[in-house]
Chains A and B, each alone.
Chain A
Amino acid sequence: MTRLKKDKVMNLKAAVSAFVRDGCHLSIGGFTLNRNPMAAVYEIIRQNIKKLHLYVHSNGQGVDELIGAGCVARIEVAYGGTGKFAATCIRFRKAVEQGAIQIEDYTNYQMTLRFLAGAMGVPFLPTRSSLGTDIIAKWGFSREIRRAEPGLPDHKLVVMDNPFPGWGDTDQVVLVPAICPDVTIIHVHEADRRGNCRMQGLTFADVEQAKAARHVIVTCERLAGDDELRHHSDQNQIPFIHVDAVVPVPYGAYPTACYRYYDYDPVYLKDYAGAAKNDERYAAYLARLRATADHQALLDGVGPARLAMIQADPTTGYAVDLDRR
């Protein structure tokens, strides 16, 4: 059982090519402009992996870049936005409007429950969210597609009467189908060689996403010593038994933020949004990105001054007074 081995450290190129294949069902961690596994996203783009089936709740920047680079065929999603930098992710929006990708809409809570169901090994979980809405009425993936594909449940959502009549003041529930991605990629603050993970700040749905997946790649800011995370292990969220590969990548969430390490880079995100609006400029952006050998080369291009600008303040965990206009 490879998940019990002592040393899972790999380089990013090898980890991505070992686990992320054309057409695989992938989920990525983080939320809008925070702790997206961007180094891994950029490596997927460099390796030109295609036809991904993406499961996300609200991963803004990572989703937009994967779609913009043409890596995605289908997406199950709750929200495609990057906060102030793109109220709706720009390449996501273009791709949906042009019919270049197929999309299925859920809510954030539903996507989180779907990952949790996958992690628990149950086929579905109930909620009351979205009763009476088009999220239930309209299916992005048709019944035919769903029936034809073994990797998809036959129904988007199922409404049923509460099987415990009157219990919990609830007459009806919505059942959300479990997700078991082929691969989940998350970026964490610290991990050890074996794959124990420690995140700081908000964990979003990273834990559920990781535990639901067949394979898990963890990129980390810092590789912790072999015994280090065994101390204060109450601060760890994911034990090694769920992890396949550990990849130390400083600034692995850049240009999104990593609480207590660095902030998001407003300059990068603004430039990106500008380029994303224009097909020619976006092609140039992608060409520059693909020409970088790895994440370190991308960071070298950004330069030390910009990285210094987004260094997190040790008290607050973000870059105080950063110019975010």
Chain B
Amino acid sequence: MEYTLKEMMAITAAREIKNDDIVFCGTGISMLAAMAAKNIHAPECVIFFETGAIDAKLEEIPLAVADSRVMYHTAANGGLLEAFATMQNRVTGAQVLGILGAAQIDKFGNLNSTVIGDYFSPETRFSGSGGGCDVASFVPRSMIFMQHEKRKFVKQLDYLTSPGHLDGPDGRRKAGLPAGGPQCVVTNLAVMRFDDHTKEMYLDGCYPGIEPRTVLDHMAFVVDVSRARPLAPPSARELKILREKCDPQRLIL
């Protein structure tokens, strides 16, 4: 069955979401991945947004985390304080999986979503942290969406907006952050993970038809590819639900 890379990304990310996860969701493809997981294999997972909406009934895809579509049929509608408290809560916080995106990523999963170039006279200005840095600071596990390009997988970030593992295995503890950090990076070519000991990124799996060499060609730093495995393409059922139930207007896809 034919499918696009964006569909592969959404399904691959959806498979990372488990039935007992409380999923913190951002805008765009992360929203689609969470909706797909809920409709395909993780019906009990809870989706929540930094705007304060907890467990919305997402009948249409929201185009921003403040879209009225996140406010319908929720467990509770609060505000930003409640949302960020949920992910820091000593009990519920442990179950939260954060989904993030960025303009640049380094080998420790640190993210830049602020500027390209010098912060004080930027070549390109992006939206900024929003809740991204908060989520990356607080949650025990996060999943990151990236386009696999040399200018995005960089040796040195132009600005460190959201903390990953900072400078390595002890980075978060030294900085005073809670343990945790990114667990995987889902791209348009592959899935990357972080080594348990070094906290450095490695290639975990390639999409059908993609070689590890190709993945390396799209990065400005080298990663271990010895553990790479082929990833399964989306099934007909997964695609049908994604296309017909999650994004029939193809607003994100």
A residues with a Cβ closer than 8 A to B are 30-35, 57-58, 60, 77-85, 87-89, 92-93, 96-97, 99, 105-110, 112-113, 116, 128-135, 137-138, 140, 159, 169-173, 201-208, 257, 259-260, 263-264, 312, 316-318, 320-321, 323-325
Determine the residue in chain B with the shortest Cβ distance to A88.
Answer: B127
A87 touches B64 (CB 8 A): no
A residues near B121, Cβ cutoff 8 Å: 99
A202 touches B134 (CB 8 A): no
Determine the residue in chain A with the shortest Cβ distance to B101.
Answer: A87
Knowing A96-B122, A130-B137, the reply to whether A109 touches B131 (Cβ < 8 A) is yes
A residues near B252, Cβ cutoff 8 Å: 84
B interface: dominant SS: loop
Nearest-CB distance from A77 to chain B (Å)? Answer: 6
A323 touches B249 (CB 8 A): yes
A residues near B114, Cβ cutoff 8 Å: 105, 134
B residues near A259, Cβ cutoff 8 Å: 68, 71
Which residues of B, 38-76, contact A by the 8 Å Cβ criterion?
50-53, 59-60, 62-73
A84 touches B84 (CB 8 A): no
A residues near B77, Cβ cutoff 8 Å: 201-203
Q: B129 contacts which of A87, A89, A106, A131 (Cβ < 8 Å)?
A: A106
> Which of B7-15, B145-153, B159-167, B205-213 lies at the binding interface?
B159-167
B159 touches A132 (CB 8 A): no
Nearest-CB distance from A274 to chain B (Å)? Answer: 17
A116 touches B68 (CB 8 A): no
A131 touches B127 (CB 8 A): no
Knowing A34-B66, A202-B51, A259-B68, the reply to whether A171 touches B133 (Cβ < 8 A) is no
Best-surrounded residue of A31, A57, A113, A138 (most CB of chain B within 10 A): A31
B81 touches A208 (CB 8 A): yes
Knowing A108-B131, A129-B133, A131-B176, the reply to whether A257 touches B67 (Cβ < 8 A) is yes
Total A-B contacts with CB atoms under 8 angstroms apart:
217
Q: Give A208 to B127 CA distance when docked, in angstroms.
A: 23
Knowing A96-B125, A107-B133, the reply to whether A133 touches B162 (Cβ < 8 A) is yes
Determine the residue in chain B with the shortest Cβ distance to A201.
Answer: B71
Which residues of B, 71-128, contact A by the 8 Å Cβ criterion?
71-73, 77-81, 84, 88, 114, 119-128
Q: B78 contacts which of A87, A202, A264, A317 (Cβ < 8 Å)?
A: A202
Q: Give A78 to B128 CA distance when docked, in angstroms.
A: 6
Knowing A88-B126, A204-B51, the reply to whether A83 touches B79 (Cβ < 8 A) is no
A residues near B73, Cβ cutoff 8 Å: 316
Q: Give A317 to B57 CA distance when docked, in angstroms.
A: 12
Q: A132 contacts which of B81, B124, B166, B251 (Cβ < 8 Å)?
A: B166
Report if B171 contacts A (CB, 8 A). Answer: yes
A residues near B228, Cβ cutoff 8 Å: none
A residues near B59, Cβ cutoff 8 Å: 316, 320
Nearest-CB distance from B136 to chain A (Å)? Answer: 9
B129 touches A79 (CB 8 A): yes
Q: Give A174 to B6 CA distance when docked, in angstroms.
A: 38
A83 touches B27 (CB 8 A): yes
Determine the residue in chain B with the shortest Cβ distance to A159.
Answer: B176
B68 touches A201 (CB 8 A): yes
* A/B interface sample: 26 pairs, CB < 8 A: A31-B65, A33-B67, A34-B64, A78-B128, A79-B127, A79-B131, A81-B130, A83-B63, A83-B64, A87-B28, A93-B126, A96-B122, A106-B129, A109-B131, A128-B138, A129-B137, A132-B171, A133-B160, A169-B178, A171-B176, A201-B68, A201-B71, A203-B79, A205-B81, A257-B68, A259-B71
Q: Give A63 to B181 CA distance when docked, in angstroms.
A: 32
Q: Give A324 to B64 CA distance when docked, in angstroms.
A: 12
Q: A33 contacts which of B52, B63, B134, B162 (Cβ < 8 Å)?
A: B63
B79 touches A205 (CB 8 A): yes
B127 touches A324 (CB 8 A): no
A residues near B51, Cβ cutoff 8 Å: 31, 202, 204
